[in-house]
Structure 1
């Protein structure tokens, strides 16, 4: 079991997603931004290993406008050595990484232009994992997409688009149950049709479900992951922010709730991404809780 957090490390003085305005585009700006972003990513990974946080979601903006037609800079060749070095570090330290493309990636949109741009974004983000030399257990995480007034048609469009994706994208793509539109059962229907794995979100399941107990839902999602092609299940964990709108993530880990969730988890082995606002701070606390329970290797001093 590994614990992680997404994209930003607030303990360090750098960002791995520095960018600039599209109107200011130049090859020189891209080169400088990618160099800085990869250097910061390496620092974040080293820091994470020192804290035994071995699961990390890399920010989508490593390469500014990475899937946009304006970007003609050959960043794949210019930074091939740096990407390979990052990947070597990830593998050497038993880490797992993922990407979570932004909400504009919608494979089931009725707009063909949106679908094409979504595919190009997935190709771009997957290519970074390929440049790192990482296998298909490192994933690209998306939602099923929009409802557009017709659930059956929306699911059918996702399935049809999925079949058109490059194999390199399909091998990495996973879908997440969401909190408003597509429940675990909807995701299981997509899985039955195309074999895609389901990245389970406990908080979304609390917000939108079909009556499945948490322990049962976890195991249903875990059964969609192939042990060698996909690795153990990745999942997102959070809880409700007190006094806020339904579905708003808590600012910090609520240890009592996390303890209760671990009881639902039982002996199931998963990698947990904490979608909690204070990021590495809560991830560190969760890691210590798991160490005390013997769920991860004891931390060194």
Structure 2
């Protein structure tokens, strides 16, 4: 089992998504930004290993305008060695990497232009994992998309688009149950049609479900992951922020709730991404809980 957090490390003084305005695009700006972003990414991964946080979601903006037609800079060749260095580090420390493309990636949109731009974004983000030399257990995570007034048609459009995706993208793509539109059962229907794994979100399941107990829902989702092609199930973990609108994530991990969730998890092996505001702080606390209950057999990091 691995614990991780998404995109930003608030303990370090760098970012993996330094960018600039589209109007000020230049190849020189791209080169500088990507160099800085990859340097920071490696620092974050090194820090994570020291803390035994072996699951990390990389932000989409490593390459500014990476899927935009304006970006004609050959970043794939210019930074091939740097991407490979990151991938070698990931493999050497048995880490797991994912991307979660932004909400504008909607494969079931009725707008062909949106679908085409979505596909290009997935190709771009998947290509970074390819440049790192990482296998298909490192994933691209998306939602089914919009409802557009017709659930059946929306699901059918997703399936049709998925079947036309490049194989390199299909091999990495997973779908997540969401909190308003597409439940775990909807995602399982898509899986049954095309074999795509379902990345389970416990909080979204609490917000939108068909009565499945958490322990059952976890196992239904886990069964969609091929043990070698996909690896163990990835999942997102969070809980409701007190006094806030339904669906708002908590600012910090609630340890009693997390311990209760581990009871539902039982002996199921999963890699858990904490979608919690204080990121690596809560991830470290979750690691401590897993160590306490014997689910994380590692020693404490040594002081620097």
Question: Which secondary structure does the structure 2 equivalent of 1:272 belong to?
Answer: strand
What is the match of residue 291 of structure 1? 291
Q: CA deviation at 1:175?
A: 0.0
What is the alpha-carbon distance in structure 1 between the residues aligned to residue 232 and residue 176 of structure 2?
Answer: 15
Q: CA deviation at 1:299?
A: 2.1
What is the match of residue 224 of structure 2? 224
What is the alpha-carbon distance in structure 1 between the residues aligned to residue 279 and residue 290 of structure 2?
Answer: 17
Question: Which secondary structure does the structure 2 equivalent of 1:236 belong to?
Answer: strand
Query: 1:156-235, aligned counterparts within 5 Å?
Result: 156-235=156-235
Q: CA deviation at 1:296?
A: 1.2
What is the match of residue 148 of structure 1? 148
Question: 1:75 and 2:83 equivalent?
Answer: no
Q: CA deviation at 1:281?
A: 0.1
Question: 1:18 and 2:18 equivalent?
Answer: yes
What is the alpha-carbon distance in structure 2 between the residues aligned to residue 200 and residue 139 of structure 1?
Answer: 13
What is the match of residue 96 of structure 1? 96
1:171-211 CA distances to partner (integer Å, 9 max, x unpaired)?
00000000000000000000000000000000000000000
What is the match of residue 274 of structure 1? 274
Query: 1:5-44, aligned counterparts within 5 Å?
Result: 5-44=5-44
Q: CA deviation at 1:108?
A: 0.0
Question: Which secondary structure does the structure 2 equivalent of 1:34 belong to?
Answer: helix
When the two structures are superposed, what TM-score results if normalisation uses the length of structure 1?
1.00
Question: 1:254 and 2:254 equivalent?
Answer: yes
What is the alpha-carbon distance in structure 2 between the residues aligned to residue 88 and residue 298 of structure 1?
Answer: 21
Query: 1:41-52, aligned counterparts within 5 Å?
Result: 41-52=41-52
1:83-119 CA distances to partner (integer Å, 9 max, x unpaired)?
0000000000000000000000000000000000000
What is the alpha-carbon distance in structure 2 between the residues aligned to residue 112 and residue 249 of structure 1?
Answer: 33
What is the alpha-carbon distance in structure 1 between the residues aligned to residue 166 and residue 191 of structure 2?
Answer: 18
What is the match of residue 111 of structure 1? 111
What is the alpha-carbon distance in structure 2 between the residues aligned to residue 58 and residue 122 of structure 1?
Answer: 14
What is the match of residue 139 of structure 1? 139
Q: CA deviation at 1:298?
A: 2.2
Question: Which secondary structure does the structure 1 equivalent of 2:89 belong to?
Answer: helix
Q: What RMSD over aligned residues (CA atoms) do the two structures have, in Å? A: 0.4
When the two structures are superposed, what TM-score results if normalisation uses the length of structure 2?
0.99
Question: Which secondary structure does the structure 1 equivalent of 2:37 belong to?
Answer: helix
What is the alpha-carbon distance in structure 1 between the residues aligned to residue 177 and residue 204 of structure 2?
Answer: 7
